Structure 1
Amino acid sequence: MVQLARKSETPEEEEEMEMDVQAEETADSSMDMEQTKGLLPTLNTLERVEPASDLTNLRDLSPPKNQKAYSRNRGKENHILPKVSEVNTKIGGPTTPQKKRLKKKDFEREPKWDFEDKYTMEASAIQTNCPYSVKIKAASSPYLRNQYLHNITLFMDRRIFSEKEWERLEHFVPPYGWMELNRSDVQEAVSFLPPIPQQQILLSANSSQHPKCVSCAVVGNGGILNNSRMGKEIDSHDYIFRVNGAVVKGFEADVGTRTSFYGFTVHTMLASLSLLKGSGFPTVPEGKDVKYILFTEQARDYDWLIALILNKKVKKGLSFYRIRPRDHFTDKFKLQNILVVHPDFPRYLKNRFFQSKKLNTTIWHLYRPTTGALLLMTALHLCDMVSAYGFMTDSYKEYSDHYYDKVMKPLIFILDHDFPLELNLWKKLHEEKILKLYQRPKPETPSPMPPKLAKREKDKSKGPDPKMAPAAVEKGTEGTVMVTASPALTVTEIKDAVLAALDCKLTGILDQIGAL
């Protein structure tokens, strides 16, 4: 193993960083598309680590004393696990060792543990009867055969929590684990989740006596769907997955009408409901058969989940999150209809499909795939045949950010996502016939662009104009987040600039903008 050097801190700096660790760390920035081309990893070059067949077969994953972490930059010094600290017990007599909890600030880039690529697996996963299934194609594909795990555990239930699991997952930041989360909150939330007999919930619903290929449509919110007339084709699938601001009213001809699964994080759902309440998205998708897929990314997601289950109001966090979750669901809500994604699943996706260069930088703990990407990959592990609509393609610059935008809004690249990486992955999976990606040539009639935005686009060739600088979200000193904007912009324009990408972590930004 490579020994990684931990960065040193004075006692004063340690105290300041400890006070700062609870602050939300999100960022919003634009990236140059040309500089990020070719970020798709060569998946076949990743080292294959055989997963444990089930949780009980996982060895004691808590590292022994002086255990080192792997660095993604082999041969370069990075950081090590914090040493075990000795503390004197006031009651009980002798000194006893206490393990110091891992914190994001202890690492300058993503640590790599020797059990990084081990996951909780389903011991007896249902096998598909479809000869054209993604699972069959992946097993025979040189591109995917060593990367795709058909029996990985997708969803949590009350049986998964244990001391060993807590110690293992505490090594990974959310959404990949439980680092810095409150153990009692996580344990309480998970304890409410009913057992899931079969992770392959769609295949288990498909009678083996009548073999059928389970088809799924995953509907993103990309502007490419505006005036696409793909609604009928989308509704023809067995199951339809939607995400975040899944506006249907008024766009039925383009995006269809049916919903089987709704994927979200707490933030993306609440932001969508707040921004699109008057635009056809007053509540989350409803229906007795609709299931909700929650991707947990922060402590607030577990607080929200507990409040949802107990039908109480969230009492922690910013005012934006202090709501009664049941208010966004119908009276027919059932606990069995919410599926909470296991942290192993997004970590598996990150390790094998979304290996961004950002993981080797100081913002490593902010990076995660978009919620739409996580949902599409979930469908690729549940369904036999998958079609993707409204996802990023090479012609994304020709369309507005969302299909429901009333005016042209260009896609804004967010610091905590890697859009070019996802774009290249969708193209590769489409070329390999693993999924069908809806693509579209340049539109004959471009979406209308507001005059001020059109002028800014025209002025780009003349160089930057500080008076017209758009709103920017950046990381400030000591881990804080700053929102800056030119006085020349109105509050509405600032909101449009910042909130054009709903699929990011905007904790605190809404409150800051609202105070302008």
Structure 2
Amino acid sequence: MKLKVRALMFLLCVTTICVLWRGYRPCSLPQEKSPCACERCLSEDDPWFMKRFNKSVEPFLSANYNLSEDAFNWLFLTVPPSPDVLESSPDRCRTCAVVGNSGNLRRSHYGPLIDFHDVIIRVNAGQIKGYEADVGTRTTHRVMYPESSMDLDNTTHLVLAPFKTAVWIYPKSTGPNSDSQQVMVLNPAFMRYVHDMWLEKKGYYPSTGFLALILALHMCDEVSVFGYGADSDGNWSHYWEKLNNKRLKTGAHPGDTEYRMIQELDEQQKLRFYTGF
């Protein structure tokens, strides 16, 4: 009997000590270390949750991540099976107008000439409304990097440049009757080809405008180029903006190299370059 009383008193003492010191030190038997400092961790064993949760799947793409073939194929389900382009033909002359955003388009009156082309490629957020006389009214393709995303009507193909560390959640045109078939994604191999072969690896990567220009050489039989280069004062500016920074340059893009290549292509009669002044 005395032994039972002693055992009971011992348990009561231990319980009391644990209660008093609970916030200071654990009194339970050692357990597996918790994966987080929260009161309850998401990754704690829960049959319903763990049936779906797979921590081994990396949420972000990195240079060291090996994308599985299944994931690669799933990704490209969002891309049209074939690009919507005019095919070459002996009885057709495919004409392209590539419209950059240079300030030298101001008062150029190139609008009707631009609109006369079969394919009209514009770059990033190039404005039309209010500038129709100089830049035209039609757009068949608009080439963009992620940070230049904008709403498009359902007659314009969105040409995505899948580059930089920004993320495209889902490539889309956002007009009232938008259609995923209007989306075209530039091949990263094409972008590297432009950088390596046409720019001889100058700069970090091609500008959107230069990508659009080389794209036009691949899509059309005759190419006309408008709105490239610095304005008449030597400033790199947009035709729809008032230039406040007189020292604005081309950043990571090799602007001078790109401009010289356009001039060379014009001299070789591979395109027509309309300088605007």
Considering the TM-score relative to the shorter chain, is it more than 0.5? yes
Contact 2:226/2:276 (CA < 8 Å) preserved in 1?
A: no
Matched, 1:421 2:257: yes
Describe the shift of the 1:348–1:400 C-alpha distance in structure 2 as closer, same or farther (beyond 3 A).
Answer: closer
Structure 1 equivalent of residue 208 of structure 2: 371
Tell me by how many angstroms 1:434 deviates: 0.5
Match of 1:256 in 2: 136
Match of 2:169 in 1: 304
Q: Which position in structure 1 is the counterpart of 2:271?
A: 435
State the distance in 2 between where 1:374 and 1:436 align: 17
2:6 is aligned to: none
Structure 1: runs of 5 or more not aligned? 1-169, 171-177, 270-282, 310-325, 359-366, 442-516
Contact kept, 8 Å, 1:401 with 1:409, in 2: the verdict is no
2:75 maps to: 189
Give the secondary-structure state (helix, strand or coil) at the position aligned to 2:223: strand
Cα deviation code 1:97-142 (max 9, x no counterpart): xxxxxxxxxxxxxxxxxxxxxxxxxxxxxxxxxxxxxxxxxxxxxx
Distance 1:433 1:376 in 2: 14
Quick one: structure 1 residues 411 and 290, their matched pair in 2 at CA, closer, same or farther if it must change by over 3 Å? farther
1:153-179 per-position Cα deviation (integer Å, ceiling 9, x unaligned): xxxxxxxxxxxxxxxxx9xxxxxxx83
Does structure 1 retain, via aligned residues, the 8 Å contact 2:235–2:248? Answer: no
Deviations 1:346-383 (A, max 9, x none): 1111121111455xxxxxxxx10101110111011001
SS of residue in 2 equivalent to 1:300: coil
1:193 and 1:186 mapped to 2: Cα distance?
12
Q: 1:285 to 1:194 in 2, by over 3 A?
A: closer
Aligned match for 1:348, one of 193, 218, 221 = 193
- Point out the structure with max Rg over C-alpha: 2
Would the alpha carbon gap of residues 248 and 335 (structure 1) be closer, same or farther in structure 2, given more than 3 Å must change? same
1:423: Cα distance to partner?
1.0
Q: Secondary structure at the match of 1:346?
A: helix
Kindly indicate whether residue 227 of structure 2 is the aligned counterpart of residue 390 of structure 1.
Answer: yes
Distance change (3 Å), C-alpha of 1:202 and 1:220: same
Cα deviation for residue 228 of structure 1 reads 0.9
Which one of the candidate residues 109, 132, 145 is aligned to 1:265? 145
Q: Provide the secondary structure at the position in 1 that maps to 2:225.
A: strand
| Contact 2:237–2:243 (8 Å) recurs in 1 | no
> What is the CA distance between 1:408 and its match in structure 2?
5.4
Tell me how far apart the structure 2 counterparts of residues 411 and 427 of structure 1 sit (CA, whole Å). Answer: 23
Q: Is the CA contact 1:181–1:299 (under 8 Å) kept in the aligned structure 2?
A: no
State the partner residue of 1:401: 237
Name the residue aligned to 2:33.
none
Superposition map of 1:104-503 within 5 A:
179-180=63-64, 183=67, 187-196=73-82, 201-203=85-87, 208=89, 211-269=91-149, 283-286=150-153, 288-301=154-167, 303-305=168-170, 308=171, 329-358=174-203, 367-392=204-229, 397-398=233-234, 401-407=237-243, 409-410=245-246, 412-441=248-277
TM-score by length of 1: 0.39
Distance in 1 between the 2:216 and 2:206 partners?
15
**C-alpha distance in 2 between matches for 1:396 and 1:356:** 28
Following the alignment from structure 2 to structure 1, what is the Cα–Cα distance between the partners of residues 179 and 66? 26
Aligned partners of 2:164 and 2:130: how far apart in 1? 33
- CA distances 1:222-242 after superposition (whole Å, capped 9, x unpaired): 000011111111111111111
CA contact (8 A) 1:248 1:256 kept: yes
Which residue type is aligned with residue 162 of structure 2?
Answer: T
Aligned counterparts of 2:236 and 2:255: Cα–Cα separation in 1: 15
What code does the residue aligned with 1:194 have? P
Match of 2:39 in 1: none
Contact 2:229 2:236 (8 Å CA) reproduced: no
Q: Cα distance, 1:407 vs. partner?
A: 4.4
Alpha-carbon distance between aligned partners in 1 of 2:253 and 2:138, rounded to the nearest angstrom: 29
What is the letter of the counterpart of residue 151 of structure 2? V
CA shift, 1:285, in A, is 3.4
Check conservation: 1:216, 1:239, Cα contact below 8 A: yes
Counterpart-to-counterpart distance in 2, 1:439 and 1:380: 18
Across the aligned residues of Structure 1 and Structure 2, the Cα RMSD in angstroms comes to 2.7
Q: What CA distance in whole angstroms lies between the structure 2 residues aligned with 1:331 and 1:423?
A: 37
For residues 254 and 200 of structure 1, the distance between their equivalents in structure 2, rounded to whole angstroms, comes to: 28
Cα 1:219–1:411 change in 2 (3 A) is: farther
CA-to-aligned-CA distance 1:421-464 (integer Å, 9 cap, x gap): 101101100100111111244xxxxxxxxxxxxxxxxxxxxxxx
Unaligned runs of 5+ in 2: 1-60
CA pair 342-247 structure 1, distance change in 2 beyond 3 A: same
Q: TM-score, normalised by structure 2?
A: 0.69
1: CA distance, partners of 2:223 / 2:124: 19
SS of the counterpart of 1:420? Answer: helix
